[in-house]
Structure formats: C-alpha cells, structure tokens
C-alpha cells in the first residue's frame, strides 16, 4: 500500500479523497492555485504545493507542475478526482512513465473510451447495445440530412469530443438536420479543437441511467448497480439517486452485465461508469464511459456499503477485489442533490463571493465511514463559512446525500435536509432543488431527461412553486413577530406606560412589485410550550424548538415536525419551506390600517442601464459611446465559473456612457453602461 498520495484536484472531491486516505493511514499532498491558498482541501492535507495562478490552465491543468509536485513531496501515486486531468490519457501515460502510479484506469483504457466514435465501435464489438446511427465522421450538411433520413427522425447530432451539452443538437426534420450539423461542427471546433460529428437515433422520453463498474488488474470486474441521473438541466445533472425507480431487476441485470463486458473489453482497472440512455419501453443503449470517479458516487456507496475511493486506491496498489458479483448488496435508497453557487431566480447565472453563512443540516453519515442503520444525511464539501467561492472554477458548493429505507423515506429526508441547509452571502440552487423534490411527478418517479425543461419552460420562480399549505408560511411569520416582541418586552430600562406590550392579534401583509397588497388577520396565543395560531378560520398548534438567532428553525405544526428558514428582512420576514417562499410584514391592526394609506414607491426604471447579472470578469465590451445598437446585438461578455455569458441589447438604443472597463471584476447589479 502507498505511504503518500497526491490529489491532483481541488474542492469537494479533494477533501473526499483525503478522508479515505487518512482512514487508510496514507499521507496526502494537496495542490492549489493562488485563488485556493485558503481552501479547505489545503488545510486538510498533510502537505500542500502551490501550482500557480488562479486560472486552471495555468495551475490544475498543467501536467508538468503536478508531476513535479509528486517528485518534490515523494508522493508515490496521484488521484485525479474528476474534471481537470482525470480523463486525460496523455497525463495518465506521463505519470506512469515517471514511475508514479495513476489512481485510475490505464492510459490505454482512457484513450479507448475517451473518443465517442471509437468507444461505440468497441461497445458494438463487445455486444453492448448501441443506438442505431452513423458512427463515422460526416463531411457535409447534405450528407448529414441523407443519413438522418435513413435512420429516421428524430435524430441526435453530436460532436465526437463533446461534453457538458456542447456540440449537441436534436433534429426533427431535414432543415434542423442541415442547420444543426453546421452549428454543431462549429461549436465542437471552437470548444474542443475537433470538428468530427456523428448522428444517432434520438430516444424519445429518454432516461439517463448509469452503471458503476469496478475492475482490478487481475481480470476481475463487477457492477455496483445503477444510478438514476435523468433529472438534468441543460445536460447537467441536478439530482441523482440509486437505485433507479424505473428499472426492473431483469433490465438492471442486463445493463450491469453489458457494462462489465465493455469494461473487460478495454481491460478496465479502477472505478468507472458506463452510461446508458434508456427508452420508455426499457430498451437501453450505450452512451459513453466515464473513466473516472463520478460526482454522484456517494449514492452508490450508500446502497452498497463500499468506499469507492478506497477501492480505487487498493486496485491501483495492485490488490485484487475482495468480493465478487454475488457479494454486492443493495440496501435502501440514496439520493444526492448538487448544491451549486448559482441564482435560480436569475436563470441560474453563476454566483460568486464570500460565504457569509454556511450551515449545513445535521449529519450522521460521513464519507469513508459505514452507513448507520436506518440511513441519514451526509454532506461532502470543500468550503467553509467565511470562505470565498472563486469565479475561476465550477459552481459546486457541496453535495447533499441522504439514505433511507425506501424512496419515499429518502425524499422526505432530503426535503428536510434542504430546508435546513443555510447558505448566505451568495445565491444557491437550494430553493430549486426543494421544488423538484416536492413535484408530484418526481415523487411518483415519472420523469425523463426533459423533465426540468418541460416543467419550468419560463425558468424558475418562487411563484412557480405554490406551497401546499400557504397558511403555514403566514403563521410562521406571525409567530416570529410575536417571539421578537416577547424578547423586546424583557429588556430593562423601559419607560413606565411605554413598555413593549405583547398582543395576540396581528395582520400579515403581503404585497407585490406593482403595489397590490393583501391583509390576513392572524391571532397568536401563547399556550405554554405551544402557540395557538388562528388564521383563515382555523386554529393550529405550533411549537418552536430553535432560538431566535437561528435561520433554520425546527418545530412542530399540528404535531408534525418541520424545518423552515425564517429570516428578518427590513420590516418583514422571509420564510422558505419546500421550495416555496414568502415575504410577509406583520403589524398590529392599527399600524396595518395606516400603512395601507402609504403611497406605493415604484421600482426604478432600469431600461436605460445595463447591469451585471452576476459577479464575474468583464472580458469584452462590444460597443462604443455614441453607437446605435439594435435589439439582440451583443453589448458585453462576462466570464464566471468557466462560462462566458454574453449580454444582449433588449431594445434599440444609443450608448451614452460606458461605466465599467474591460478586465474589471464586477459585482451583481453593477452598472456596465448607460443608454439614451
């Protein structure tokens, strides 16, 4: 076994590998960029080596620097994590040539599976189901149309080197096939330097289901069941679960055996994932193989009881698998939500900055440790309260993982954990995750890869997620106000006859951005350990177990436990629960009566300015002062979290002033330019 390993990665996955290595008695070396000098993975490791400047192309993607760090520290092996150089066959080969062990598959296996066209040919030879299609590079759009007609619409046009949704189009007719081929090839050339494009049948109502495989250097290979990864937004996974609610045991076994056959065909040694697209009739076809550890590996760990990072390390050290296919268990149900630094209310634009508050829910499961009886909650993260989310890397803050006895228990546990996950200072996708978990179709397991696009065609908003008990949110606002009044009444030094008086009758006021308001009378009576709340003709018993300072508030509502987020904001209270939210102001009846007479202050007119929709780097200003701009023309480009976001003119205008300069770091809502 190795004495020291280097983790060629950052963030959550670097911390995850360190935990297993520590349990195995292996010393660890972290590498970091200048932006990550205070990162959590640097603190957790036994040693740390600076790679270079913040951009990954100057640090985490420079193979020479990582190999030099291994030699400098005496690391015998390198774990690549996921992303960066994890599926780079050339990096794997160079590491091996330097006498350093690559904790992953051999470079030949990575190369064989890294090319989508070559991997499909290999899969077909190994008798793995492949999607009907044309797997050779296509020369022209005319040829693409001819091939698409032969396969039968709809078809999928894909770049051979594509990934992350880039270089991918679906065509339903000749015109879309012609145009889709040209744009797909251009996008692939610009993004990957490889313009080879192929066409395959588009599977309707598809599910994305992947099989986890594990092979050693002694000819043994097993599959560790499947993961359901169909809940995706723009081809990026959002929620994963294991097992899949869609598969039956016969299909599960067939998919697993084909995944093992493919892994054996390339002499696969390590953990890897064979991805399939599964049709509504349970027909399944090989999609691609990921020759690395997956982001969603914890759900497999939860249901099998295996530590996949440990297995990768043991295989890399030359050990045999200690179990066969028949020994692999499948216990309970696991789910994972990817908690990302993005604003779901601004079309999921990246959100960077300081984590002013980071309070994950209570955890009783831990990476690299056995799952407790009855399951629980686990958080894998690379951040801490007060730390920075830099703009240079991906947007993941944490992975929230739960395990339950069955799917319903896992969903209930995940909803409760999301309600209790407090992140402030930056935006996160937690409200969106909570809304997905509450969706009736998700609860029934009735979804496919198009689910999010179908259910939220106009984007996500709080209004799109009505709460099943709106009076619950309003009652919490009224109770919060009463509790604050109770605390104020205990303060000393109050003038006689002017003491804070605690009332039982309140008015909850809701208003929208156009000045429309709604008044709801609410009665709140202290009944010992509970509050009796009268609202909309009904009385509820509510108990609160958390102090006023907590944002995540635990309690009971008519005897049922709950966790909701309650925060004082201005004159009101912001309440969030199960993806729904409300901003409510609470007054006594007379104040509510007078407040209704106040004039409405309309929001400012922002049509004459261009604001930055996210924090990021202003990489391009495409116009000049005095220039006439037409609606739809490019104004500027902002780079954040490895993505370039282009800002377009919403209407015809003339540029009056350019306020921000190219190369400037922008904050949210910072003015970039003004119009006249």
Give the active site residues: 288
- Give the residues across from 381 on adjacent strands: 398
267: its two tokens: 């002499």
Element (H, E) at 224: strand 221-233
CA 58/CA 50 separation, integer angstroms: 11
What is the DSSP annotation of 61-130?
Answer: T-HHHHHHHHHHHT-SEEE--SSTTTT-HHHHHHHHHTT-EESSS-HHHHHHHHSHHHHHHHHHHTT--B
Write phi, then psi, for 472 (nearest 5 degrees).
-65, -45
Question: In a 3-state reduction of DSSP, which class is residue 144?
Answer: helix
Peptide bond into 455 cis (omega under 30): no
Q: In this structure, are residues 300 and 335 in contact, taking their beta carbons and an 8 Å threshold?
A: no
Write phi, then psi, for 144 (nearest 5 degrees).
Answer: -60, -40
Residue 420, C-beta contacts closer than 8 angstroms, at least 6 positions apart: 361, 362, 552, 554, 563, 565
Token couple for 444: 């029934």
Exposed e or buried b per residue across 111-142, where buried means at least 16 C-beta atoms within 10 angstroms of its C-beta: bbbbbbbebbebbeebebebbebbbeebeebe
Task: For 479-491, give the DSSP string.
Answer: HHHHHHHHHHHT-
**Residues shown for the chain:** 676
Grouping H, G, I as helix, E, B as strand and the rest as coil, residue 238 is strand
Contact 145, 153 (CB under 8 A): no
CB 675 within 8 A of CB 653: yes
């Amino acid at each position: 076994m190795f004495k020291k390993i280097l983790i060629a990665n950052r963030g959550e996955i670097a911390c995850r590998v360190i935990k297993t290595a520590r349990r195995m008695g292996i010393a660890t070396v972290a590498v970091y960029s200048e932006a990550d000098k205070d990162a959590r993975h640097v603190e957790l490791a036994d040693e740390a080596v600076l790679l270079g400047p913040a951009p990954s192309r100057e640090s985490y993607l420079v193979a020479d620097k990582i190999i030099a760090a291994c030699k400098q520290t005496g690391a015998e092996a390198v774990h690549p994590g996921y992303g960066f150089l994890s599926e780079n066959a050339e990096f794997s080969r160079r590491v091996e040539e330097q006498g350093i062990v690559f904790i992953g598959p051999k470079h030949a296996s990575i190369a064989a599976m890294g090319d989508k066209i070559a991997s499909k040919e290999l899969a077909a030879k190994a008798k793995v189901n492949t999607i009907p299609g044309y797997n050779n590079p296509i020369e022209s759009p005319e040829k693409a149309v001819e091939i698409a007609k032969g396969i039968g619409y709809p078809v999928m046009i894909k770049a051979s080197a594509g990934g992350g949704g880039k270089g991918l189009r679906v065509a339903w007719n000749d015109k879309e096939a012609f145009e889709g081929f040209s744009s797909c090839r251009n996008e692939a050339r610009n993004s990957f330097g490889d313009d080879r494009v192929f066409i395959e049948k588009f599977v309707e109502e598809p599910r994305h289901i992947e099989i986890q495989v594990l092979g050693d250097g002694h000819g043994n290979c097993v599959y560790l069941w499947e993961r359901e990864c169909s809940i995706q937004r723009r081809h990026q996974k959002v929620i994963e679960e294991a097992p899949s609610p869609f598969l039956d045991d016969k299909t599960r076994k067939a998919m697993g055996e084909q995944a093992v056959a493919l892994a054996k065909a390339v002499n696969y040694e390590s953990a890897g994932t064979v991805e399939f697209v599964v049709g509504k009739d349970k027909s399944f076809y090989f999609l691609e193989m990921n020759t690395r550890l997956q982001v969603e590996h914890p759900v497999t760990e939860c249901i099998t009881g295996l530590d996949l990072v440990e297995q990768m390390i043991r295989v890399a050290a030359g050990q045999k698998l200690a179990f066969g296919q028949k020994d692999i268990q499948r216990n309970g149900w696991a789910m994972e939500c990817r908690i990302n630094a993005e604003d779901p209310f601004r079309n999921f634009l990246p959100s960077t900055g300081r984590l002013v508050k980071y309070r994950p829910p209570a955890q009783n499961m831990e990476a690299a440790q056995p799952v407790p009886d009855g399951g629980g909650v686990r958080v894998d993260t690379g951040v801490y309260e007060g730390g920075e989310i830099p703009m240079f890397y991906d947007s993941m803050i944490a992975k929230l993982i739960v395990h339950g006895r069955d799917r319903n228990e896992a969903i209930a546990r995940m909803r409760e954990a999301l309600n209790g996950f407090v992140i402030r200072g930056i935006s996160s996708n937690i409200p969106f995750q909570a809304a997905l978990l509450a969706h009736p179709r998700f609860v029934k397991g009735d979804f496919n890869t198009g689910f999010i696009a179908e259910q939220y065609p106009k984007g996500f908003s709080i209004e799109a997620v009505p709460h099943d008990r709106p009076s619950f949110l309003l009652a919490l606002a009224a109770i919060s106000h009463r509790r604050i009044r109770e605390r104020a009444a205990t303060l000393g030094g109050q003038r006689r006859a002017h003491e804070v008086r605690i009332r039982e009758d309140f008015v909850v006021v809701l208003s929208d951005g156009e000045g429309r308001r709604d008044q709801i009378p609410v009665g709140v009576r202290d009944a010992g350990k509970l509050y009796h709340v009268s609202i909309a003709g009904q009385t509820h018993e509510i108990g609160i177990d958390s102090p006023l300072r907590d944002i995540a508030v635990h309690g009971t509502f008519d005897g049922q436990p709950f966790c909701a987020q309650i925060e004082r904001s201005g004159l009101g209270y912001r309440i969030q629960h199960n993806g729904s939210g409300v901003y409510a102001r609470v007054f006594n009846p007379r104040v509510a009566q007078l407040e209704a007479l106040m004039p409405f202050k309309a929001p400012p007119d922002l049509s004459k300015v261009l604001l930055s929709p996210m924090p990021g780097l202003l990489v391009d200003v495409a116009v000049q002062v005095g220039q006439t701009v037409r609606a739809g023309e490019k104004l500027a480009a902002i780079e954040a979290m490895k993505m370039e976001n282009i800002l377009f003119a919403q209407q015809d205008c003339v540029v009056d002033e350019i306020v921000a300069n190219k190369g400037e770091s922008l904050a949210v809502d910072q003015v970039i330019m003004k119009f006249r």
